[in-house]
Amino acid sequence: MSAVDAAEAIPMTAKRRGAQLVMLAFAVAIVMVAYANVGLGKDGKVPAGMLTYGLGLGGVMLAAYLVLARFAPWADPLVLPLVTLVNGLGLVMIYRIEQAVPKLASASTQLFWTALGVVMFSVTLIVLRDHRALQRMTYTAGFVGLGLLILPLLPFVGREINGARIWVSVGGFSIQPGEFAKLALVIFFAGYLVAKRDVLALAGRRLLFIDLPRARDLGPVLITWVVSVGVLVLEKDLGTSLLLFGAFIAMLYIATQRTSWVLIGLLLFIGGAGVAGALFSHVGARFQVWLDPSSQALYDLPFGGSYQLMQGLFGMGSGGILGTGLGQGHPDLIPLSFSDFIFSATGEELGLTGLMALLMVYALVVERGLRTAVAARDPFSKLLAGGLSFILAWQVFIIVGGVTNLIPLTGLVTPFMSQGGSALLANWILIALLVRMSDAARRPPPQAIQDEGLTQVFKR
C-alpha cells in the first residue's frame, strides 16, 4: 500500500466558506426580492421598509456567518444559507400578513426574534466548543426538559391561549417552554440511549418473527409515553405530545436497531390516541375533521370544527400551481395565517411551486443533519445529530401534514416560519448544535506525518 493510496483513503473535506458566503448572499437576495414583490403586488410600489428588513436580515446573517467561520470552520456550508432562506421567507410572509391583519402579525417583532435567534446560535457555537460536553449533562437535560414541559401547568405563570396551556408569561413576555423542552429532551434521549443501548438492543427473546425486549427495559418507553400523554391531557397540546413521542421512538430505533421498539411505540401511540379520542372531545373532533373536513356540519361548529382547516385548504386551492403572487392573496381569510397556518398562506401566494421549493429546502436541511450524524465519530454525536434532524423533519411533517389534512391537525409551530420567539430561538439553537457537530464530523483527523512510514497509515 503506497502513501498515495493512503492519502486518498482519508478524503479531505473542504471548508467551502466562499461558496457558503455566496449562497448566504443569494438567500438574502431572494428574501429581498420577495419583500419587493409584496409591495409591488399589493400597491405597485417597492415597500419603504424593504432596505431596513433586507439589510437587517443580511447583517444578522453575516454576523452568524462570521461566528460560524471563526468557531466552526469545518461546518456544513449548506445549513446556514438554507435556514436563512426559510427564516427570511417566513419574515416576508409575516410582513405580508401584517399588511392584511396588522393586529395579529408583526414583522418587526419577528425580525427582532430572528436577530435574537442568531445571537443564541452564535452563543451556542462560541460557548459549546465540544458538544460531547452535553453527554455529561444527560440527566440534567432530562430534568430540565421535564421541568419546562410542566412549567405551563403551574399556577400564576402558566397561560392558556387558544385552548392549549403551553405558555408561560414572565414580566410581559410570553414564552413557549415546550420548544426548549424539545431540545433538552433530545439531548437526554441521546445520552440515555447511548448508555443503555446495549441492554435495550440485545436483551430479550424472540417471539414468532420479532425480538421482544425484556419487560423491565420497557420502563423508559413507558415513562416517555406517560409524559407525552400527560402533555396531551393536561395541556391539551396534541402536537408537542406527538412530536416528543415520535422523536423518542425514532431515536430508540436508531440506537438499538430493533424494529420491535417501533412496533411497541406504534401500539402505545395508537392505544393512547384511541383512549384520548374516546375520552376527550377535542381529540375526537380533530379525528372527525380529518376524515371529512368539507362536511358542512363540522365546518359550522363554533369550536374544534373544520373551519380553520378548510379556509387554509381554500387558500391553497386558490393559489393553485403558480400561486396568486405575493401580496395578492387573501391571508386575512385564513385564521392563524401568521402561526399554525402560515404554510397555507404561503401556498396561496407562492403556489404549489413555492411550497415544493420550501419543502425541498426543509428536506435538504434535514438530510444535511442526518449526513452529519452518519459522518459523526462517536455514538452520542450520531444519536444527537440524528435525533435533532429527525425531530425537525417530524415537526414539519406534523404541522404541514396537519394543515394540508394529510394527518389529523395538531397545533405546532412551522419551524423558522411561524411567528413566535420561543420557537425561533429554540430552532436556531438546534441548528447551532447541528453546525457544531458537523464541524466536528468534517474536521479532518490529525494528518499522518510522511516520514514516519507506512505503519502510521490507517483506514477508518
Partner 1 sequence: MNGTLKRASVACLLMFALLMININYLQAVKADDLRKDGRNQRSFFARYQNERGMITAGGETLAKSVDVGGTFRFQRKYADGPVYAPVIGFFAPESARGIEDAANQYLDGTHPDLFVRRTVDLITSKPTRGAAVDLTLVPKAQKAAYQDMKRSGKRGAVVAIDPTTGAILTMVSVPSYDPSPMAVPDKAKAAAAYNKLNADKDEPLINRAISKTYAPGSTFKVVTSAAYLSEDSTRDVNTTVDAPDILPLPGTTIGLRNFHGESCGGRASLIDALTISCNTAFGTMGLEMGYDKLSEQSAKFGIGQPMSIPLGVVKSDIGPDEGKAALAQTSIGQRSNQMTPLQMAMVAAGVANKGKVMKPYLVNKIVSPDGDEIDAARPQELDEAITPDVADKLRQMMVNVVQNGTGTAAQLPGISVAGKTGTAETAKGAASHAWFISFAPAEDPKVAVAVFVESGSAGNDATGGLVAAPIAHDVMQAVLDR
Q: Which residues pair with 335 in a beta bridge?
A: none
Amino acid at 58: G
Asked if 291 touches partner 1 (CB under 8 A), the answer is no
Residue from 53, 248, 397, 416 touching partner 1 (CB under 8 A): that is: 397
Q: Smallest Cα–Cα separation from 66: which of 21, 36, 34?
A: 21
The least CB distance from residue 337 to partner 1, in Å, is 13
Residue from 374, 377, 447, 456 touching partner 1 (CB under 8 A): that is: 374
The least CB distance from residue 413 to partner 1, in Å, is 16
Of 272 and 319, nearer to partner 1 (C-beta) is 319
The least CB distance from residue 359 to partner 1, in Å, is 6
Residue from 406, 453, 454, 458 touching partner 1 (CB under 8 A): that is: 406
Strand 173-175 relative to strand 164-170, pairing: antiparallel
Asked if 266 touches partner 1 (CB under 8 A), the answer is no
CB 411 within 8 A of CB 340: yes
Q: Smallest Cα–Cα separation from 458: which of 441, 12, 447?
A: 447
Looking at residues 302 to 321 of the shown chain, list those that interact with partner 1 (rule: CB under 8 A). Answer: 310, 313-321
x/- binding map, residues 353-372, to partner 1, per CB under 8 A? --xx--xx-xx--xx--x--
CB 100 within 8 A of CB 341: no
Asked if 196 touches partner 1 (CB under 8 A), the answer is no
Q: Which residues pair with 167 in a beta bridge?
A: 159
Asked if 261 touches partner 1 (CB under 8 A), the answer is no
Distance between CA atoms of residues 307 and 289, nearest Å:
9
Of 145 and 386, nearer to partner 1 (C-beta) is 386
Residue from 272, 327, 335, 386 touching partner 1 (CB under 8 A): that is: 386
Q: State the DSSP H helix or E strand holding residue 167, giving kind and residue range, or none if neither.
A: strand 164-170
Asked if 199 touches partner 1 (CB under 8 A), the answer is no
Asked if 396 touches partner 1 (CB under 8 A), the answer is yes
CB 393 within 8 A of CB 361: no
One DSSP character per residue, 247-307 reads HHHHHHHHHH--HHHHHHHHHHHHHHHHHHHHH-HHHHHHHHHHH-TT-HHHHH-SSSSSH
Q: Which residues bind partner 1 (CB under 8 A)?
A: 250, 253-255, 257, 294, 299, 310, 313-321, 330, 333, 347, 351-352, 355-356, 359-360, 362-363, 366-367, 370, 373-374, 379, 382-383, 386, 389-390, 393-394, 396-397, 400-401, 404-406
